[in-house]
Amino acid sequence: MPRPDRYNAAPARTPMRAMDRITLIRPDDWHLHLRDGEALATTVPHAAARFGRAIVMPNLRPPVTTVAAAEAYRRRILAARPPGAAFEPLMTLYLTDTTPPEEIACAAASGLVRAVKLYPAGATTHAEAGVTDPLRLDPVLEAMAAHDLPLLVHGEVVDPEVDVFDREAVFIDRVLGPLVERHPRLRVVLEHVTTRHGVAFVRAARPGVAATITVHHLLLNRNDLLVGGIRPHHYCLPVPKREADRLALLEAAVGGDPRFFLGTDSAPHPRSAKESACGCAGVYTAHAAVELLAEVFEAAGALHRLEAFAARHGAAFHGLAPHPDTITLVRDPWPVPQRYPFPDGGLVPLRAGGTVAWRLAA
């Protein structure tokens, strides 16, 4: 039996439905790329329409490695926020081999920096300045544990001898597992988990270990990237894995386990960079992240758990109350534009040219 098309068109309307309108606590996005400069005019309004808060990734050029740089970036984001929007960017620092423990103390005292991001050097977009040897980080990680500043991890090795589809599992076994054990007080998030192995690791880990799950990894498997031709706008890092891995992510997302929560990893790139020899890694979902998530949860018979995954679990892990605002989704299919305004050729979103079954109410 052919697999239903999860990314190109909304599910068909059925004669009987449990509900056509859902009101939720306003979700938070615990992993978001906004980029900088002209890009903010598109990315910030999309995020602000749906999310109350977002952990903003620091992999700019140059990366956000200091509290001063994070504060300046935050001001640029707020300047792009639509009038009346209450969207709050939660800032992060980019961890390097030379990050001093003193900067961690400054970050904790700032009240604006909420986490620190570990990119293995060369693992993904703008990760050139990332960490080359995690064992050298122990003094900084001890400072983070002392100040209760979480570590957000891009969980992939960059060893060329490791198959690209195995990089997450190998990273967990070689790096993340030992790191979690060496620092028992450190809160750790395995970001954009993509494998059965990663889900099992989080479930078996000590308290203080969690994972974010993206919308696109709930919708796509590696066939959606490769079958019928390479689809560059589905290419991301970590890459989508087997269907069995997608189903493991789905079970974790809809199952009510508070260790799993939404982090879209929405990552904008200009069309010219995606449709090129570079094939830049990143899927843009901020334009419809919550609406697409509603489709996923409805198909799984779990709309009643959407609010917990999108609005409660992540806030609790990060020590925050759920957002005081709400949003409403209505069942009203709408067409996704072929592209959004963006420098260098526009921005192609997930499901460009297709439809989304749920719409964000005004």
Is residue 62 reached through a cis peptide bond, with omega within 30 degrees of 0 on the bond before it?
Answer: yes
Instruction: Specify the 3-state DSSP secondary structure of 327.
Output: strand
Could you give the C-alpha distances from 227 to 10, 232, 282, in angstroms and in order?
Answer: 20, 12, 18
Answer for the pair 114, 92: CB distance below 8 angstroms, yes or no.
yes
Residue 31 annotated as binding site:
yes
Q: Which residues are catalytic?
A: 265
Residue 59 annotated as binding site:
yes
Residue 117 annotated as binding site:
yes
Concatenated DSSP letters for 79-115? HTSPTT---EEEEEEE--TT--HHHHHHHHHHSSEEE
Instruction: Specify the 3-state DSSP secondary structure of 254.
Output: helix
What pairs with residue 210 in β-bridges?
189
Residue with tokens 């809160």: 187
Residue 33 annotated as binding site:
yes
Could you give the C-alpha distances from 33 to 13, 15, 259, 282, 362, in angstroms and in order?
Answer: 33, 39, 22, 9, 24
Answer for the pair 150, 319: CB distance below 8 angstroms, yes or no.
no
Single out the residue of 69, 174, 157 nearest to residue 113, CA to CA: 69
Q: How far apart are CA 63 and CA 253, in angstroms?
A: 31
Q: How far apart are CA 108 and CA 332, in angstroms?
A: 43
Q: How far apart are CA 37 and CA 317, in angstroms?
A: 31
Joined together, the tokens standing for residue 168 give 């997450």
Residue 192 annotated as binding site:
yes
Answer for the pair 271, 323: CB distance below 8 angstroms, yes or no.
no
Amino acid at the residue 349: P
Is residue 238 reached through a cis peptide bond, with omega within 30 degrees of 0 on the bond before it?
Answer: yes
Residue 241 annotated as binding site:
no
Residue 274 annotated as binding site:
no
Residue 237 annotated as binding site:
yes
Question: Would you list which residues are annotated within the binding site for substrate?
Answer: 33-35, 59, 154, 237, 269, 281
Question: Would you list which residues are annotated within the binding site for Zn(2+)?
Answer: 31, 33, 117, 154, 192, 265
Question: Would you list which residues are annotated within the binding site?
Answer: 31, 33-35, 59, 117, 154, 192, 237, 265, 269, 281
